[in-house]
Amino acid sequence: EAGVTQFPSHSVIEKGQTVTLRCDPISGHDNLYWYRRVMGKEIKFLLHFVKESKQDESGMPNNRFLAERTGGTYSTLKVQPAELEDSGVYFCASSQDKFGQGASNEQFFGPGTRLTVL
């Protein structure tokens, strides 16, 4: 079974440009999460999809960030326009809600996309 995949693995862009990150969750996982780790700091929650619906987007930093999950499969996270402080590693994770276990479900993480904004 394939794990969570993310593309690209690295992206270097200039301030003001647009970048789109992609995440493919494990097949059959309805829950999809985006997290971000700014260098040296903790991994922070950005948002949570259940299928194609945004369940919780309380962690999105500002309206320069737009996440979509069309059809409830893969997700994209667009940053437009990118700022220096957006640099970091963006992780995607997915989980399957087994028998309504909710918060105890294991989240499977992708390898992350390292974004550098110059």
Least Å distance, CB 62 to other proteins, is: 18
Buried b (16+ CB within 10 A) or exposed e, 9-43: eebebeeeeebebebbbbeebbbbbbbbeeeeeee
Select 9 or 73, whichever has its Cβ closest to other proteins.
9
Residues contacting other proteins: total by CB under 8 A = 30
Distance of alpha carbon 84 from alpha carbon 43, whole angstroms: 18
Distance of alpha carbon 103 from alpha carbon 118, whole angstroms: 37
Select 82 or 110, whichever has its Cβ closest to other proteins.
110
The answer to whether 40 contacts other proteins (rule: CB under 8 A) is yes
| Choice from 30, 43, 87, 116 touching other proteins (CB under 8 A) | 43
Q: With H, G, I as helix, E, B as strand and everything else as coil, classify residue 103.
A: helix
Distance of alpha carbon 99 from alpha carbon 1, whole angstroms: 21
Select 37 or 81, whichever has its Cβ closest to other proteins.
37
| Choice from 11, 31, 75, 113 touching other proteins (CB under 8 A) | 31
The answer to whether 104 contacts other proteins (rule: CB under 8 A) is yes
Residues lying near other proteins in the complex (CB under 8 A) are found at: 3-4, 31, 33, 35, 40-45, 48, 55-56, 59, 91, 93, 95, 100, 102-112
